[in-house]
């Protein structure tokens, strides 16, 4: 690939495709192991819930839930209910992922779109399998009508996988910060509404983040190179030069 005329072009030829970043080696092993450890912790907690707790909450979780119930207010309940709808049903399973995928494709991030879909699917699958296997009871002071199984939280895992996946796609500090805040708010809202115990939301967060990291591994270099490329929307013509 020749770059002898780099800097000599002007106007619309200043960013031809031959400016694509050179192949790189992305360190994946530490992050993959982080994902594996996260899922291993979920498995260990699930076993403890079934074997030691007979699918009941830990003592500290009951105390925390009692304190949360005593602090409920109409305003916070309304806000938590919005997060409940945002993280459940068609919205979290289809509408929100579809909007993200379409946006990624429109701004020329096809590898990012594929990775995002697979990460969401992997997190959802692991969450549902663990829910069925553990079969944990939900809190009694519940304000919503969720599906079967309290551990892990599907809302928390969905929020975490979205946050982690988008962070890995864009590699921007503000994306990580917004994703972390969104995940923490979702976790807090699930406990506030009485839908989950503490370990449920922590377990859900670990499932979502762990699944995203593991799925990310085979896409790591492609996502890094794609992130370094310009991303004009598909309706804008991209000028290509020989060797691009």
Q: How far apart are CA 32 and CA 14, in angstroms?
A: 38
- Looking at residue 10, what is its pLDDT? 41
DSSP designation for 242? T
Q: How far apart are CA 198 and CA 212, in angstroms?
A: 22
* C-alpha of 214 from chain center: 12
Per-residue pLDDT of 186-231, as tens digits, reads 999 999 999 999 999 999 999 999 999 999 999 999 999 999 888 8
**Position 7 confidence tier, pLDDT thresholds 50, 70, 90:** very low
Higher-confidence residue: 92 or 60? Answer: 60
- Looking at residue 237, what is its pLDDT? 77
DSSP designation for 56? P
- Cβ contacts of residue 122 below 8 Å, gap of 6+? 161, 211, 212, 214, 215
Cβ pair 127, 203 in contact under 8 A = no
Higher-confidence residue: 154 or 12? Answer: 154
Least confident of 7-11, 58-62, 120-124, 230-234: 7-11
Q: Is the pLDDT of residue 155 over 60?
A: yes
Percent of the chain with pLDDT over 70: 86
Q: Is the pLDDT of residue 54 over 80?
A: yes
Q: How far apart are CA 7 and CA 216, in angstroms?
A: 35
Q: Is the pLDDT of residue 232 over 50?
A: yes
Instruction: State pTM to two decimals.
Output: 0.85
> Taking all residues of the chain, what is their mean pLDDT, rounded to a whole number?
87
Per-residue pLDDT of 62-121, as tens digits, reads 999 999 999 999 999 999 999 999 988 788 888 999 999 999 999 999 999 999 999 999
């Amino acid at each position: 690939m020749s770059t002898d005329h780099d800097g000599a072009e002007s106007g619309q030829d200043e960013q031809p495709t031959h400016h694509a970043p050179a192949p790189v080696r992305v360190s994946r092993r530490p992050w993959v192991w982080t994902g594996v450890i996260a899922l291993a912790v979920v498995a260990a907690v699930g076993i403890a819930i079934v074997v030691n707790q007979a699918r009941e909450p830990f003592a500290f979780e009951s105390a925390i839930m009692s304190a949360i119930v005593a602090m409920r207010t109409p305003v916070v309940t309304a806000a938590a209910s919005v997060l409940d709808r945002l993280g459940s049903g068609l919205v979290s399973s289809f509408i929100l992922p579809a909007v993200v995928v379409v946006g990624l494709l429109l701004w020329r991030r096809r590898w990012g779109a594929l990775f995002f879909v697979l990460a969401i699917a992997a997190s959802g699958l692991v969450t549902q399998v663990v829910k069925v296997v553990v079969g944990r009871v939900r809190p009694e002071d519940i304000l919503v009508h969720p599906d079967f199984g309290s551990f892990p939280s599907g809302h928390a895992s969905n929020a975490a996988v979205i946050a982690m996946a988008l962070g890995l796609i864009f590699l921007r500090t503000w994306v990580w910060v917004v994703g972390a805040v969104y995940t923490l708010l979702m976790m807090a809202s699930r406990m506030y509404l009485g839908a989950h115990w503490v370990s449920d939301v922590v377990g859900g967060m670990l499932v979502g983040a762990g699944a995203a990291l593991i799925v990310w591994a085979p896409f790591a270099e492609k996502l890094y190179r794609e992130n370094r490329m310009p991303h004009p929307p598909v309706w804008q013509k991209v000028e290509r030069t020989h060797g691009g």
